[in-house]
């Protein structure tokens, strides 16, 4: 089916950052298959109409990167969708609270450095969770969504690793990552909780955030290929299987 048939953003009411990873040109020019892998913000706010739209997609698997408190605060269950929690605790939120309690003012510059540290920590500390996501993807090509709260940081790094694994060029991977800024609508109750310039750092994405993670992959693990193989369990055989499952055939 022609790529023009599909839309990247699903335009749901209760999840503003739900989107398809399909359509990008990957290994050997083969495009990532549509309607197989989705990334999203949390799914606890889906309306009945949203749930029907998701059912049409044939979605059968959901992987939730939110931490324990996040999941407990905004739980969800989707009929016919197998759910798996892979907890990555939101360290930026915790560090922001600690700063407030100790009387230190959060500035945009401090917030940006906290975000870069968070992305470096994904690489250093959360390989088991991202490896588990890849293990799910390797099982079959049954449609799967992975998400966190805003679908931008934990989810953004995971999406970048998936697309890089499938051979999507790094500049295109970055473009996909930055789409969050045009889609995600942060919760209304956050307005006034911190200065706008701080909220715009914490609840949006910047190129240097993902770059901080990719630089850590390079400097600490010898590059994407070695990081995939040694930390995420995705070697040559696994990459070939992922290509078979998620890239369109030649021709």
Which residues are part of the catalytic machinery? 148
* Cα 22 to chain centroid, rounded: 14
List, in sequence order, the alpha helices (H) in the chain: 48-57, 68-73, 91-101, 108-125, 127-139, 154-165, 170-178, 180-183, 196-202, 207-221, 224-231, 236-246
3-state class of 169 per DSSP? coil
Q: Alpha carbon of 242 to those of 117, 134, 136, 141, 236: distances in Å?
A: 30, 9, 11, 9, 10
Backbone φ and ψ for 25, nearest 5 degrees, come out as: -75, 125
Q: How many CB atoms lie within 10 A of CB 213?
A: 22
Question: Please, are residues 201 and 112 in contact by the beta-carbon 8 Å criterion?
Answer: yes
| 109-134 residues labelled b (16+ CB within 10 A) or e (exposed) | ebbbebbbebbbbbbeebbebbeebb
Q: Which residues pair with 64 in a beta bridge?
A: 85, 147
């Amino acid at each position: 089916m022609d790529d023009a048939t599909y839309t990247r953003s699903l335009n749901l009411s209760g999840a503003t950052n739900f989107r398809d990873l399909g359509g990008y040109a990957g290994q050997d020019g083969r495009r990532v298959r549509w309607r197989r892998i989705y990334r999203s913000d949390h799914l606890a706010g889906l309306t009945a109409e949203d749930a029907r739209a998701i059912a049409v997609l044939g979605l059968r698997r959901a992987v939730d990167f939110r931490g324990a408190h996040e999941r407990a605060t905004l739980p969800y269950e989707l009929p016919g969708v197998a759910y798996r929690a892979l907890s990555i605790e939101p360290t930026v939120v915790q560090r922001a609270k600690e700063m407030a309690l100790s009387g230190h003012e959060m500035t945009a510059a401090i917030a940006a450095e906290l975000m870069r540290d968070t992305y470096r920590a994904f690489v250093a500390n959360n390989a088991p969770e991202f490896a588990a996501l890849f293990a799910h993807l390797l099982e079959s090509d049954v449609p799967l969504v992975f998400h966190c709260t805003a679908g931008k940081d934990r989810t953004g790094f995971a999406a970048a690793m998936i697309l890089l694994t499938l051979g999507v060029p790094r500049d295109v991977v970055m473009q996909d990552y930055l789409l969050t800024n045009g889609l995600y609508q942060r919760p209304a109750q956050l307005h006034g909780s911190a200065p706008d310039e701080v909220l715009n750092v914490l609840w949006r994405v910047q190129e240097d955030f993902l770059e901080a993670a990719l630089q850590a992959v390079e400097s600490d693990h010898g590059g994407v290929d070695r990081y995939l193989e040694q930390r995420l369990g995705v070697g040559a055989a696994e990459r070939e299987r992922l290509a078979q499952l998620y890239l369109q055939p030649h021709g």
